[in-house]
Amino acid sequence: MKILITGGAGFIGSALARYIINETKDQILIIDSLTYAGNLESLASIAQSDCYRFEHLDICNRAKLDHIFAEFQPEAVMHLAAESHVDRSIDGPDAFIETNILGTYTLLETARKYWQTLGEQAKKTFRFHHISTDEVYGDLHGTDDLFTETTPYAPSSPYSASKASSDHLVRAWLRTYGLPTIVTNCSNNYGPYHFPEKLIPLTILNALEGKALPIYGNGAQVRDWLYVEDHARALYKVVCDGEVGETYNIGGHNERKNIEVVQTICRILDVMVPNKPRNLVMYEELITFVTDRPGHDMRYAIDASKIERELGWSPQETFESGIRKTVEWYLANEEWWRRVKDNSYKSERLALTR
């Protein structure tokens, strides 16, 4: 299969790309505008594969998208390109509206124009797989409630509102134009190659450097944590076997309070890196509670029974195994994260493109 992946240099996109190249015989073409979170070094291990190709391209550029579709002739589109950091969306929502809404619209129109040129059999097998987030559902108030595929949308931040809008656009292009679309909504991802501004890598790296470990409010916010490589397997399963018009929620069955996540990382580091900075006795001494961000949802939790029942996918990693693997990866890949932190990863982008 020939798969076009948008946002393939990002955290989840690069995990998906590595999975497809390493585990299948499919060809991939990655489109990425290489904003701050796009890192071609996350694709270095597969960059020499004959089944891999990269194009430096913004999904809002219709003319270039048309050319790429016509030339590559994809059989599936996996759309991951998005601005995704809630704090950044609060400080500057413009980029989220442009990329997540207008970019998705432009990609849908390009895909629709291309799809209409296909033969009848190719039309039937073509897939537009839109990868979204559980944050579109808003907040869960009960301790036992779960997000299902029919949970009403109630986004709380500019980020989640822009993703909710893109979800609606994708479903409208199916209903109105017949474009064969599928939507997946995932819980919080974590794992290797995660940009250091996110909670888990930020905690690991700040702890190693003896810096404060900031936690919003009292740290009681609950998230369902999904190991990124489990997510990559799920996404590939959906694009191959998912039903057109369906939505699949993807979760890790790993609900944890933010404070528990940080404490767990600290305890792992206590054992793995006993020589602590600043004469610390325990890394938990670095925990600092800060003012909560506006509109902060308290609890997310995914009901992933549909994808398990209908497509046979389930997560392989528990939170305990996944978080240990994640800490081990950051300890073993200091060059990668130091180049991200000092911005030197941006300097070799052109050399790494093909």
Domain CATH number, residue 309: 3.40.50.720
Its domain, for residue 84, covers 2-190+225-253+298-319
Q: Is residue 38 part of a domain?
A: yes
User: Which of 83, 134, 224, 317 is labelled catalytic?
Assistant: 134
Active-site residue, selected from the candidate residues 19, 52, 159, 227: 159
Active site residue 135: yes
pLDDT tens, N- to C-terminus, the chain (354 residues): 999 999 999 999 999 999 999 999 999 999 999 998 899 999 999 999 999 999 999 999 999 999 999 999 999 999 999 998 788 889 999 999 999 999 999 999 999 999 999 999 999 999 999 999 999 999 998 778 999 999 999 999 999 999 999 999 999 999 999 999 999 999 999 999 999 989 999 999 999 999 999 999 999 999 999 999 999 999 999 999 999 999 999 999 999 999 999 999 999 999 999 999 999 999 999 999 999 888 888 999 999 999 999 999 999 999 999 999 999 999 999 999 999 999 888 876 545 454
**Strands 27-32 and 127-133, how do they pair?**
unpaired
Q: Is residue 276 part of a domain?
A: no
Known catalytic residue at 159: yes
Residue-wise DSSP of 134-168: GGGG----SSS--B-TTPPP---SHHHHHHHHHHH
List phi, psi (to 5°) of 172. Answer: -65, -35
Has residue 122 been placed in a domain?
Answer: yes
Residue 269 lies in a domain: no
Does any domain span residue 349?
no
Per the domain annotation, does 333 fall within a domain? no
What's the structural domain count of the chain? 1
Phi, psi of 3 (to 5 degrees): -120, 125
Radius of gyration of the CA atoms of the chain, in A: 20
Q: Is 69 part of a structural domain of the chain? A: yes
Could you confirm whether 335 is annotated as catalytic?
no
Q: Is residue 267 one of the residues assigned to a domain?
A: no
